[in-house]
Structure 1
Amino acid sequence: MLDDASSTTALPWFAQPAARSWTCAPAPAGVRDFHAALPGYASTPLTELPSLATELAVGRVFVKDESSRLGLPAFKVLGASWAVHRALAERAAHRPSAEPVTLVSATDGNHGRAVARTARLLGRRAHIFVPRGVHPDAVAAIAAEEAEITRVPGSYDEAVHQAAEAAATAADAVLIQDTAWPGYETIPAWIVEGYSTLCVEIDEQLAAAGATAPGLVAVPVGVGSLAQAVVTHYRSRPPVPAPALLSVEPEAAACVIESLTRGEPVSLTTGHTAMAGLNCGTPSSIAWPYLRRGLDAAVAITDAAAARAAGDLVELGISAGPCGAAALAGVRAVLTGESAEERRTALGLGPASVVVLLCTEGTAANPKRAIEH
């Protein structure tokens, strides 16, 4: 059900508890080994925050801190590096004498920087399309990776369209895009596979912390690629029992919750949001079946809620930008306030439940360790 979003106090919320019984095939083996072989690889921290467990009235809360992943301030490089590896291997197998390619992508910030970083480390060119609303510091960070930048005066979806056109009309270009549409699905699927490393690390870290399997995993959502990876991981395993999976997105760009409510993927005209990396108006075509069947719930949050969560996480020692803090803001919205008990019941949560929040990016000001090659 979706609460009446026309009310200023209603929570945009969708729930389908039957998702815990849905199953799918697992991610392929070998992805974690690929990442582990990259210079500078290390598991990102899974930090327990008891004060949040007290606030949310659950047993334990852990935050997966992606503020420094392979020298970049977000998880995106996991998908970009694996997809580029697969794409270049495929190209070499079919066109061994082809000219070096340019990697093309559209981005709200972190994905484009990850593609540009991967290209630079491999001695390739990168051409990144950036829509309006992306912070100048994020654009400068992409440019610092020696990428060509094209600014798009329109939305993220328009930037994706222009990037796809540019790649299609150039003989030496490969589009590395983290959203899919009919006819362009192989590379986005590889990107999703790359994100599986994050979930494998969480399993290992929870076990090391003596924690039970998570009762709830909250993931920020743009087009849904990371959420697809999370659904794939937890819905392809024997029930232990299976955790509830919650997607969190901005109210100004709530394409996933709107699609879930209608029962089919829809495209929305997005508004402005400080959660720029989540400002996407159309779910990925390959993510949609997983979101439709495997998500237990979805919630949309305000910029103010994300800003509060980011500030609180920073005070607790977690470098969190608005997108990264969205998971905490979403869980707070769901587990507190009016009708919270109904939502807890829908998610199957009790006072001993373990909650995992995916903090997908750090603050722009947070210094990052560079990878030396």
Structure 2
Amino acid sequence: MLGHFRRCPGYSPTPLTELPPLAADLEVGRVFVKDESCRLGLPAFKALGASWAVHRALAQRATSGQGPGPVTLVTATDGNHGRAVARMARMLGQRARVFVPQGVHRRAVAAIAAEQAEVIEVSGPYDEAVRRAARAAAAPDTVLVQDTSWPGYEQIPGWIVEGYSTLCAEIDEQLAAVGAGKGPGLVAVPVGVGSLAQAVVTHYRSRPAGRAPALLSVEPAAAACVLQSLTRGEPVSVTTGETTMAGLNCGTPSSIAWPYLRGGLDAAVAVTDDDSARAAARLAELGVSSGPCGAAALAGLRAVLSGPGSEERRTAMGLDATSVVVLLSTEGTNADPRPAAC
């Protein structure tokens, strides 16, 4: 997968930035932030999944006799995924139709429209936008490129997860280059429907026994579908509320992600918007541009490693004063004025 992206125009690994002040704050050995504020010209990691899935989907159509003619790529989004699909459509001469739920920031909607996509605003939450997109994709010459799955719709979400795995391969190389080749002791990952977390679990759980890190998922308190599902022991849907972590405001885990999350996560936590805002401010002080979703990783780790019971949680996750921690900052700040090329 990493080889595929290395052949893509404009590809370069995103930074893995070491932040010693955070290591001191959190009382661990080293802290690194995987900074996804500029990925393939877009301000979030989502371009990895959209790029690979669209490439695979269009290649499949061409080899299955459906012809090379233009199609409409359809998706639902809380922001970054829809923009990534729209960007791919524009680059490849295809059309895009993007369903956007209520509560998505106007700047995010405008950014999708600027990619020449048809934007349809839905009066309802993310799950309703997904349902609308799935119905629209039943029309001829349309392809649904959704980053969540359900029974009967799993192949393209699986390709999206494959694309996300590139991020983990980059981390391996980057840690080795700075003398941390044994890998992290803990990885904190923001979670919406769980596709990125599925990629992280798949990557790190393939390691030899004793070398796999602890994996922590972090969600908004207003949309903690994975945490609730783990608590119940089965996938459940939750009614989502309002949150500044719009890209994580999802009410149902992806069906293909759920078995990986259930079997591969070591801990899960939900954080408030205030928690995320404080984490984003701390990252900004240290020179990292991180939006509310990206900063959730730090907010979640702070919650786990502080307060009553924190020593027991550290022990359970195998953390000590020498541990290496990686935070996945999955997006740049919405207020970042940088152009599309970052």
Shorter-chain TM-score tier: over 0.9
Query: Structure 1 vs Structure 2: percent identity of aligned residues?
Result: 74
- Contact conserved, 1:247 with 1:299, CA < 8 A, in 2? yes
| Alignment-derived partner of residue 205 in structure 1 | 174
Tell me the SS of whatever aligns to 1:126.
Answer: strand
- Contact conserved, 1:255 with 1:283, CA < 8 A, in 2? yes
Q: Summarize deviations over 1:80-100 as a string: whole Å, max 9, x none.
A: 000000000111111243531
| Residue 237 of structure 1 pairs with residue 207 of structure 2 | yes
| Residue 166 of structure 1 pairs with residue 126 of structure 2 | no
| Alignment-derived partner of residue 29 in structure 2 | 59
Tell me the SS of whatever aligns to 2:41.
Answer: coil
| Alignment-derived partner of residue 194 in structure 1 | 163
| Residue 247 of structure 1 pairs with residue 247 of structure 2 | no
- Contact conserved, 1:81 with 1:194, CA < 8 A, in 2? yes
Q: Summarize deviations over 1:272-303 as a string: whole Å, max 9, x none.
A: 11100000000000000000000001000011
Deviation (angstroms), 1:345: 1.2
| Alignment-derived partner of residue 107 in structure 2 | 137
Amino acid at match of 2:272: T
| Residue 328 of structure 1 pairs with residue 298 of structure 2 | yes
- Contact conserved, 1:68 with 1:369, CA < 8 A, in 2? no
| Alignment-derived partner of residue 94 in structure 1 | 64
Deviation (angstroms), 1:368: 4.0
| Alignment-derived partner of residue 95 in structure 2 | 125
Tell me the SS of whatever aligns to 2:137.
Answer: helix
Tell me the SS of whatever aligns to 1:206.
Answer: helix
Tell me the SS of whatever aligns to 1:150.
Answer: strand
| Alignment-derived partner of residue 248 in structure 2 | 278
- Contact conserved, 1:109 with 1:138, CA < 8 A, in 2? yes
- Contact conserved, 1:220 with 1:248, CA < 8 A, in 2? yes
Q: TM-score, normalised by structure 1?
A: 0.90
Amino acid at match of 1:333: A
Could you list the runs of 4 or more consecutive aligned residues of structure 1 that deviate by over 6 angstroms after TM superposition?
A: none
| Residue 305 of structure 1 pairs with residue 275 of structure 2 | yes
Q: Summarize deviations over 1:289-341 as a string: whole Å, max 9, x none.
A: 00000000100001100000001101110000000000000000000111100
| Alignment-derived partner of residue 364 in structure 1 | 334
Alpha carbon RMSD of aligned pairs, Å? 1.1
| In structure 2, C-alpha distance between the alignment counterparts of 1:95 and 1:133, rounded to whole Å | 40
Deviation (angstroms), 1:370: 4.2
- Contact conserved, 1:306 with 1:322, CA < 8 A, in 2? yes
| In structure 1, C-alpha distance between the alignment counterparts of 2:233 and 2:292, rounded to whole Å | 28
* Greater relative contact order (Cα < 8 A, sep 6+): 1
Q: Summarize deviations over 1:159-214 as a string: whole Å, max 9, x none.
A: 0000000001x101000000000000000000000001100000000011112421
| In structure 2, C-alpha distance between the alignment counterparts of 1:352 and 1:46, rounded to whole Å | 19
| Residue 39 of structure 1 pairs with residue 32 of structure 2 | no
Match of 1:223 among 169, 193, 196: 193
Pick which of 177-186 and 362-371 moved more.
362-371
Q: TM-score, normalised by structure 2?
A: 0.98
| In structure 2, C-alpha distance between the alignment counterparts of 1:284 and 1:352, rounded to whole Å | 35
Deviation (angstroms), 1:37: 1.1
